[in-house]
Structure 1
Amino acid sequence: METTHKILFGDAKTMDIADNSVDLVVTSPPYPMIEMWDEQFAEMNPEIRKALKRSDGKGAFESMHQQLDVIWQELYRVLRDGGIACINIGDATRKVGDDFQLYSNHARIVNAFINIGFSNMPNILWRKQTNAPNKFMGSGMMPPSAYVTLEHEYILIFRKGGKRTFSKNEKSLRRESAYFWEERNQWFSDLWDFKGIFQDLADSNIRDRSAAFPFELPYRLINMFSIKKDTVLDPFLGTGTTSLAALCSGRNSIGYEIDKGFSDVIFSLLHTESLSMLNDRIRKRILDHKKFVKKRLAKKDDDAFKYENNHYGFPVITKQEKPLLLNYLKTIDRQYEGTVRGKYFDEAMLDYPQKGTLFAEVNQG
């Protein structure tokens, strides 16, 4: 199996992508009314800078979202029928002039997507980790002017058209792309918390500049809402985390990034040096399942495991987990300008031949 990952530097408002050719979108845009993105929005529309200077927060907020609306329209064009779009966004609190208020980015985006023609699926709250000791801001201990802090962001989920249909070849890939029963229970919760999960992949200074989401976020979404060899699009690629997660999952990807300054970071991630790191994440899924089985059996819950996986021979709870196959990466190669290719082992292996950090643990019963 092979996958291709295209990195394009330019404005995603006019993407050179065919209609109905993308299976999944996973992205996090610049957040309107967060100061670090003011200049980027003002470059798109100088009226935004003027609105902020005259303390017109509501006008600036709406103008910023109008810039994003153009890209949401493009997503509707390129997504196939039944395709899914996942948008990670946070709300903003800000004082503009004498007026302090919440700017509800997630509500504005939901409204925009529905008006375009998308259906809004149940959304996810991502509870971000914070080291801040203060749980409130404003007037301290005196009511009523203190206000709560924002400790979560939204993962908004939309579908274009009705349920996706699959060709004969896609049906086979879909079966291989199944997730474990216990993964489903964790992933398909509407509240995510990433404590202790594999996520720190890029230099922290770069992450601060791009506000990149952790690897686990796109990795889960890609495995939840696409199948092997699907094409995943990120119109705000940033440090390249979505493409990296697609590479780890056996999906193709296309990423647009307006800032060429991220080029070195992106291609340093989509590189042979990431091979063991990505295979360790694949291996972790096998290890976690084996631990889950061991724990259930220790509780004498033998009846829970009515089936056996076709490839690995370990117990699974549902019939749909029998054909599940996780493909380890064999190579990551830079093909030509802006394109990376991933090659995978087709056969099932409990562990990757190049022993990684979890090798010993995976091969313990």
Structure 2
Amino acid sequence: MRTEHRWISGSATDMSGIDDASVDLVVTSPPYPMIEMWDAMFAEQDSSIDGTLIENQPEQAFERMHRLLDSVWQECFRVMRPGGILCINIGDATRTIAKEFRLYPNHSRILQSCLSLGLRNLPNIIWRKQTNAPNKFMGSGMLPAGAYVTLEHEYILIFRKEGKRLFNSAEERLRRTQSAFFWEERNIWFSDVWDFKGIRQAFSGARRDRSAAFPFELAYRLINMYSLRHDTVLDPFLGTGTTMLAALSSERNSIGIDIDASFQLLLHDQMTRNPDSLNQVTGNRIRNHLTFIEGRKAEDKPVRYWNDFFGFPVMTMQERELQLHFLRECTKECSRWIGKYERLPLADILAERDSNQLALSL
């Protein structure tokens, strides 16, 4: 049992190093147009963007930034298999230019672009990012009518290429059933509103002094919701590597692209460190499931099915073949990282204590 993880240095506008129809799932969060921290990165690829901002032409700047992203979505479409899923985490932007404050609707512009490629939009997710900011008001404060609401959510746009994915071979059908999630997880994950904190991550060695990385839980959920074990997951804006780490934890293959090559050293350290933190996530899923089952039994509610792999009760027939493996090690071999996995006895899993910050709460 092994997975492969590949880094590609360069712009995601050209994914010529990835074959057509070879990717099962894309999970990404691009630079957000009209957010000031990304201005320079957009301008590096289109020098006219600087001019539009200097000349107070925000509509032109917004459109030119999105045209760069359009080419990325077109490349994603090319490399995705029929039935493959594209998940894009994006937030709208607010900005004052020439003394005029306004909203720049990134999510609707990306939605328009992806639909024009022929992608089918599936129900989207609103990610409500908890905030502890003491001053949430913008504009004129307590005085009408110049006050503005504060943006406290982002979107996870979800698209599918062509129709439903087909599982024609016996091997594919078995891999699908083994990739099932728990019934109680499904009830949380497939809500259209997610409510957990974002992260602010400081780091050195890269061209930016902080990242805008989405949290591990966001990538982990999407990967387990929309792909199978040993599928290939792509992130064309890999950054600090959250998607690749979530794929490694979930026993998926992955490809990551980033224009900033200095992230690669940071990613190597994260991929090859002691796997305990990633395994904690897997272990917590199992322990949380057993806690849920104990609660059902205490309330005298039925639990009708049995998972032979772990030897414990489950709620539905679809969970009977569910399997979760633990990462034994991840090493660098030539230009790729290789993850190797093992099956752990349930007694060993239950002996672990929940103490890692990456833990997913149900």
Interval containing the TM-score (normalised by the shorter chain): over 0.9
The Cα shift of 1:246 comes to: 0.2
CA distance in 1, matches of 2:304, 2:141: 56
Instruction: Compare the two structures and name the one with the higher helix fraction.
Output: 1
Q: Which residue number corresponds to residue 362 of structure 1?
A: none
Q: For residues 208 and 349 of structure 1, do their structure 2 counterparts lie closer, same or farther at Cα, with a shift above 3 Å needed?
A: farther
Q: Which residue number corresponds to residue 327 of structure 1?
A: 325
CA distance in 2, matches of 1:352, 1:341: 24
Match of 1:343 among 340, 343, 347: 340
CA distance in 2, matches of 1:254, 1:352: 32
Residue by residue over 1:201-238, the C-alpha shift from the partner in whole angstroms, topping out at 9 and shown as x without a partner, is x9534696220011001100000000000000000000
CA distance in 2, matches of 1:316, 1:348: 19
CA distance in 1, matches of 2:201, 2:67: 32
After TM superposition, list the pairs within 5 Å mapping 1:159-198 onto structure 2: 159-166=160-167, 167-194=169-196
After TM superposition, list the pairs within 5 Å mapping 1:207-218 onto structure 2: 209-218=210-219
Q: Which residue number corresponds to residue 310 of structure 1?
A: 308
Q: For residues 50 and 351 of structure 1, do their structure 2 counterparts lie closer, same or farther at Cα, with a shift above 3 Å needed?
A: farther
Residue by residue over 1:262-303, the C-alpha shift from the partner in whole angstroms, topping out at 9 and shown as x without a partner, is 122111111132x000111000000110111111111121x2
2:287 touches 2:350 (CA, 8 Å); kept in 1? no
Q: For residues 222 and 35 of structure 1, do their structure 2 counterparts lie closer, same or farther at Cα, with a shift above 3 Å needed?
A: same
5+ residue gaps, structure 2: 356-362
**TM value normalised by structure 2:** 0.93
Q: Which residue number corresponds to residue 89 of structure 1?
A: 90
AA aligned opposite 1:125 = I
The Cα shift of 1:348 comes to: 5.3
Q: Which residue number corresponds to residue 101 of structure 1?
A: 102
CA distance in 1, matches of 2:154, 2:42: 20
AA aligned opposite 2:173 = K
Q: Which residue number corresponds to residue 290 of structure 1?
A: 290
CA distance in 2, matches of 1:211, 1:222: 19
AA aligned opposite 1:170 = E
CA distance in 2, matches of 1:251, 1:298: 36
AA aligned opposite 1:5 = H
Percent identity over the alignment is: 55
CA distance in 2, matches of 1:351, 1:60: 58
Q: Which residue number corresponds to residue 70 of structure 1?
A: 71
After TM superposition, list the pairs within 5 Å mapping 1:15-164 onto structure 2: 15=15, 16-164=17-165
Residue by residue over 1:40-60, the C-alpha shift from the partner in whole angstroms, topping out at 9 and shown as x without a partner, is 111111111101011111110
1:283 touches 1:351 (CA, 8 Å); kept in 2? no
CA RMSD of aligned residues (A): 1.8
The Cα shift of 1:351 comes to: 5.7
AA aligned opposite 1:283 = G
CA distance in 1, matches of 2:348, 2:248: 16
Q: Secondary structure at the match of 1:342?
A: strand
Q: For residues 208 and 177 of structure 1, do their structure 2 counterparts lie closer, same or farther at Cα, with a shift above 3 Å needed?
A: farther
